[in-house]
Structure 1
């Protein structure tokens, strides 16, 4: 933080915004200060520190630096690390040892007292997501009950990891009283930074810091400056406070003769220093944004006593300012002026001297790497080793930085026979780091460069590189390019059945499966043996893992089950390190097991494959595995676990910036949230999945449309939802959905038709479900009597109850507990309509217990209402409520969290317009919520809503 700030002139509107942002008693706030260099952002942040201190908040300040932009999380470390020294025990106690060890990889203050290095066990992008969650929890701990103001200055220079964390904390804010204030230059900021305030919604506020007016400039200059000179200074500076101050310092120079840029003015200021002070200033600028005298002395090649004397001169002239035992330039522009005033060759030497000093004192490679990359000579093997070690040490926390240092190492490595193998290995690492960091196009290009360099007859490595490249093309939603690449590589191989060709053929199988071209997938598999003597370990398992899905899709359930059992046996017999290369094939086995109703096997294999993916950094596979696991958990009715798993998959997909993986993940969030009764969140996720505009013509795009339709039906929008489900099934003309999802869709459409009174239509959908039934897949057979029960309720409720009871038994045997509960609910309602009150009570009680165990709060509330009508005393479910929600009252009334919020405001007497303003929603949305509230509470007026709320348990 800058010291000795000049008096603040003007900025009253900005000060008001700062005071408003400090209202963090109700939780997180995000504030940005946006302005050109020298506009006064840092000065306003100093004022924020003063205001925060008056309110009793802890204030921590960090700054990103122009010449250290690649250093991971530098602004956060600058802000937090010193404070963490005194709070280490509190933080470790709050976040736990495992998370503290993860955070210690970023914050040296949290390193274990023994200094032991924690091995990296998760190299995927989701390691960053876990780091972000731990960091958010740590910030919550530091905030405590009194509050925390975290200031990050010059964020336009922050590394990608810091940007990702800001995006994360805005979308997942800490619960405690925290204000995060970030200042940046809009012209130099990445687009994602400018979008953060909008993502923060009502908790975000942007302050635009513009130039001072002429009157404010005159006030800033004071009476010592004549009006004529003040006007000239105003015109020369454009009202920019820093430029104005720099010009005013040159009080012996005529404004009209000043250099054309402020940097030149600052160089003039530096020229008035002694020669030693000039040299130390240049050395300090090369050293670091916040420098130590000893390092500056080394870079300047002066004795330490001389360096300290020079620093005294720099402080006296306000070139640098003290910060504890270290020093910082008064403004980044001053540092730039000092840096650029040094000769380019001298700067290289200064970086080299600092790098040598850091190596001598045993600094870790990450600390050395910045200076090594600026000073390392071509062919310098020591420099290459430092850069490679630094890159490998930060891959989990900051893969973009890792990629940067890998590229720097490649630039220093000769391209000759002696280094060719090492270059090829580093290129593979670079492709991986780029992919993990979300730079899929760059990773793809690096893999293509690797293919260009590999000899044509190096079939094994070319096959591996082509397969990785095709995977990235797939994540970029370029399936045609992926397929073309695979076919091109295969055409180069003299023996299409050789072991080197098998991985490429496996990838072709996967591409065909994604396109729902199961015949093509089967045709390729038919050309592949189950094993061969020259196959590497794990390849036989991978081939076996691909066989169940095409067989299932072709309606050969018995064959698919046989293949799945064989793959299960092979998997159990091989160690994890044999699976790392083939996780995409293992993922297809897991998804096939879901379709076959083998949920326990699917979960076991998903967990094992996800563990390998984390350890080997295969993020693009991990997000898919997590989405699949969430799908299995939804089918089994384990909704809270499914929601958490799906959201983790979403975070990984966003970090990867992969549209395909994001759609996979959002689809499962939609389904898990919908069955949990969180209609708004479900529909939001479903609409984002559908509107991403990727996956057209492929199975995952159809599943996303189905999920959105299911969410609409569950929210009460039956006609709209039924139409969306029908569209997802391509109106059954040429459906891309799997058989199980098609059967469930028929049940949904039967339910919607029955609700409209269309008994014939409901029976037709029940008949279609029966036509899709496969006796070899008993886990789904219960869907048929459930669809029939919907159709029968209107004309024969007793028969409907019998069909629903049968469905519940069959679904329960198939481990589909949520659907079994739904069938019991239908059975209970049908018994009630048939006048069989005792049977109705029994079925509804069983349904309520099932929904309670599944975490299906909306269905539980609906069932409880029916039980009350039968005179059964019920209470809200403990398992159904969420922390911070009014779970008991909500469950008792059957309202979603948002509906309960609207109902409470209605009871307070607010109009729809006032409620819309209070909740930042549209009036139409409020009207929609109110319509559902009337239906659920069985009232017809706003007075009835208030009465129902007053009666709730």
Structure 2
């Protein structure tokens, strides 16, 4: 089984060994490491530690840092100076060398997503052509950032031959860890490490142990290898005399040590999982020579083992026993001595913090300072650790009039760190605690805290609570029109917009002036940014455009630091600009706001901004850029554990992947977005259902897709979608009806699209003639071609290049039916060029097939290569191409399912799509189509 895991010639593998303490996971990992080394793989080993669970990336640093240190220049050259500078925040080996690059200020918490990508790239580089086996032991003790990286790497695996093998205890593992193998799909495998059988115990003990003693050892240990070994070591003691718990067994082992060796063992257990003699000597309060002699004894008795000049306990349970054997008060003193020693050496606050939190006394301002410095140092890479140290600082800080202001500021900082780390409920609770402590007449700070709390309630999909909180704070203010009340009213506007209550949003805006003398810098910009969306929703196109232009002018006149407080309002301007077809302005404002969000740590706003940027790029047909942006938004939302932001992001992944021709990825994202079950009755939930419906139709599942689109539009009774999406829905429904030969239904949808058209905006004008072209194709193909060409012109002028290409394809098909092959070729060539530029592989393949039928020689895409090029030229997704190749090789559906670790039903679904896309009706036709490519 372990040898099979080393079959990484075809790419990444993820292996987990799951078992109780002492079950033999580490021993199996050692065997795996030996086999990997024999096969020539680079092998690296790291271990998480029980008493350093908050230390960021400790297991990865343990595994990789020495290897990086030995190859520092090569690593920097391979990953690049910018990536190396980012990784230097985690790996001391890279921090020791100046790469010449500086990292931009990113406090959003999503910086760690880019860090994960850089780390994945470095792992790929370390693998090279030989391959890499990265072993991580005891990952149930790993910090949250390490868990996040493992989740990232199984979802976005390295390209090269890499095996990541992780061992953990199921009872102590967080839920995320237990789902990693499933997330890895067919590349993941789990091995359950259970107890040894009686026969295996006898084999383990060897022939020199009497059979009767072996049976007694088996009964006492329950087959657990670690317990068995500990019992077997006590050959001078009768088994029946030993206490039943492993702690008692280990205490017996520790009990035979000399006093100095025991004290140094306890000190080492306090110090670190892998310790240096000097630190152990300081903690034990002995001279260096005494510590070294004691360590010699510990090594001789196999309590401690040596590796590369460093020392660590032979097993975490041994360290635990040594730690627990020391008196609690003595351990506090040992932590304090280590902390003082590290401070004298000038060690970073992040190294001191672990010992300071265990030894700092109440009111110790120096300890508070160390913890705060450490928390702020790791906030970008490990916000959960930052929050942990901030809480430790709060516990040491007195709560009196001299520290009240510091505590209030620290609570706001803690609330933000908790939110960034994905602990939104904790962040919300901390913000509510801050509201409880703030004086009732401190309206300005209370308003800020209430806005933060309401934002977190919104991320937790609790909009009613968010609204109630805002109204409660407003009711406390003696002057509801004061400057302190404006931010709360702005948040109320945003809440109304989310639930598509545009009248309520407008009513609140009508009570707000454009500016006032006592307003903070940037507040006028924020109010201006909120005005376009309600005007657009009310059908006041001219007002919406005028408001957007005014907001754009104000934005251009203020510096970034005036925008930081109001990014949620700026986001609404950007989304309104998408609906108004002002794509260039939207991208410019999305990018600027995203940079401010990164620098100021507003991660939940950043994920929203990235999703909006992705939507803009989809509308413009820049699908590769859209997918990259949407995936970053997805990763950020997963880090935050925000269902709302995840649905926003997955919706854009669904659309970008669908138009790019990757039906599997599109439907996977669309299904997850809808199945999240959040956003009911709000615009973003309807957008997710629309995206899934569009993906189903593009995948050839027309009936399901039509039903999903109609559901998203509420069957046009009380739709919550914007006018642009509703018009696009009518166009796609007209196209499907025309493909089924239902002219009357197609005409009805085209007519509804015309009713929805806002003649004050160009953004929908091209979609209406395209819907009409679908309806006219059978009855009057020449008129259909003319309408489609007009649509292409309007859409191209509106920067909607993908939709312009679809209109040109429709025009070309209509010209064929009208018998005008020359015009058909011209339109189809232009459509193919548009699709190629957009990266719409499926549509490009469909267009190429039509050109071939007209006798036009079509070449493959120059920008692609290998199987990916072939798949794209045929209009197949990578998975569909893989299935098609196996069909061409003569495999049955059952055999293909076994080969790809999929169900037979899934293979049948893929095959149905392949038949449609290749325009064939049999497996022979699939083989013929593929052979034609070679």
- Fold in common (TM above 0.5): yes
* Alpha-carbon separation, structure 2, partners of 1:891 and 1:867: 16
3-state DSSP of counterpart to 1:780: coil
Q: Displacement of 1:920 after TM fit?
A: 2.5
Question: Could you tell me which of 877, 896, 905 is aligned with 2:886?
Answer: 905
Question: Could you tell me which of 842, 845, 848 is aligned with 2:829?
Answer: 845
Structure 2 partner of 1:10: none
Question: Could you tell me which of 640, 655, 662 is aligned with 1:656?
Answer: 640
3-state DSSP of counterpart to 1:499: coil
Structure 2 partner of 1:186: 170
Q: Displacement of 1:125 after TM fit?
A: 2.7
Q: Displacement of 1:927 after TM fit?
A: 2.7
Q: Deviations over 1:878-924 (max 9, x none)?
A: 24x4x66431x334433333332222222212222222222223323
What is the correspondence of 1:449-848 to structure 2 with a 5 Å cutoff? 449-848=433-832
* Alpha-carbon separation, structure 2, partners of 1:740 and 1:704: 15
Q: Deviations over 1:98-150 (max 9, x none)?
A: 11111010000011525999566111232111111110110011111101111
Q: Deviations over 1:532-561 (max 9, x none)?
A: 111111111111000000000000000000
Structure 2 partner of 1:206: 190
* Alpha-carbon separation, structure 1, partners of 2:920 and 2:810: 23
Structure 2 partner of 1:12: none
3-state DSSP of counterpart to 1:778: coil
- Confirm or deny that 1:419 pairs with 2:426: no
What is the correspondence of 1:173-252 to structure 2 with a 5 Å cutoff? 173-252=157-236
TM-score where L is the length of structure 1: 0.97
Contact 1:779 1:813 in 2 (8 A): no
Structure 2 partner of 1:3: none
Q: Displacement of 1:932 after TM fit?
A: 3.2
3-state DSSP of counterpart to 2:914: helix
Q: Displacement of 1:585 after TM fit?
A: 0.4
Q: Deviations over 1:55-90 (max 9, x none)?
A: 011111110001000100000000000110111112
Structure 2 partner of 1:446: 430
Q: Displacement of 1:225 after TM fit?
A: 3.1
3-state DSSP of counterpart to 2:763: helix
* Alpha-carbon separation, structure 2, partners of 1:116 and 1:326: 32
Contact 1:348 1:375 in 2 (8 A): yes
Distance change in 2, residues 1:395/1:773 (3 Å): same
Distance change in 2, residues 1:274/1:892 (3 Å): closer
- Confirm or deny that 1:338 pairs with 2:319: no
Structure 2 partner of 1:918: 899
3-state DSSP of counterpart to 2:45: strand
Aligned residues: 934
What is the correspondence of 1:47-66 to structure 2 with a 5 Å cutoff? 47-66=31-50
Structure 2 partner of 1:886: 868
* Alpha-carbon separation, structure 2, partners of 1:365 and 1:892: 56
Structure 2 partner of 1:160: 144
- Which stretch shifts more, 330-339 or 900-909? 900-909
* Alpha-carbon separation, structure 1, partners of 2:38 and 2:383: 40
- Confirm or deny that 1:21 pairs with 2:2: no
* Alpha-carbon separation, structure 2, partners of 1:908 and 1:569: 62
3-state DSSP of counterpart to 2:493: helix
Structure 2 partner of 1:144: 128
Q: Displacement of 1:187 after TM fit?
A: 0.8
* Alpha-carbon separation, structure 2, partners of 1:617 and 1:129: 14
Q: Displacement of 1:617 after TM fit?
A: 1.2
Contact 1:729 1:737 in 2 (8 A): yes
Contact 1:789 1:804 in 2 (8 A): yes
Contact 1:459 1:493 in 2 (8 A): yes
Q: Displacement of 1:779 after TM fit?
A: 2.0
* Alpha-carbon separation, structure 2, partners of 1:773 and 1:756: 25
Question: Could you tell me which of 914, 919, 923 is aligned with 1:942?
Answer: 923
* Alpha-carbon separation, structure 1, partners of 2:597 and 2:476: 30
Q: Displacement of 1:933 after TM fit?
A: 2.9
Contact 2:529 2:570 in 1 (8 A): yes
* Alpha-carbon separation, structure 2, partners of 1:59 and 1:907: 39
Structure 1 partner of 2:291: 307
Q: Displacement of 1:471 after TM fit?
A: 0.3
Distance change in 2, residues 1:280/1:932 (3 Å): closer
Distance change in 2, residues 1:221/1:943 (3 Å): closer
* Alpha-carbon separation, structure 1, partners of 2:253 and 2:99: 45
Contact 1:779 1:815 in 2 (8 A): no
* Alpha-carbon separation, structure 2, partners of 1:373 and 1:899: 54
- Confirm or deny that 1:318 pairs with 2:302: yes
Distance change in 2, residues 1:730/1:412 (3 Å): same
Contact 1:865 1:892 in 2 (8 A): no
3-state DSSP of counterpart to 1:781: coil
* Alpha-carbon separation, structure 2, partners of 1:477 and 1:853: 39
Gaps of 5+ in 2: none
Q: Displacement of 1:259 after TM fit?
A: 2.0
Contact 2:85 2:101 in 1 (8 A): no
- Confirm or deny that 1:927 pairs with 2:908: yes
What is the correspondence of 1:38-187 to structure 2 with a 5 Å cutoff? 38-114=22-98, 121-187=105-171
Structure 1 partner of 2:416: 432
- Confirm or deny that 1:895 pairs with 2:880: no
3-state DSSP of counterpart to 1:205: strand
Q: Displacement of 1:726 after TM fit?
A: 1.0
Structure 2 partner of 1:857: 841
Structure 1 partner of 2:270: 286
* Alpha-carbon separation, structure 2, partners of 1:162 and 1:901: 33
Structure 2 partner of 1:9: none
TM-score where L is the length of structure 2: 0.99
3-state DSSP of counterpart to 2:764: helix
- Which stretch shifts more, 201-210 or 174-183? 201-210
Contact 2:579 2:763 in 1 (8 A): no
Contact 1:780 1:814 in 2 (8 A): no
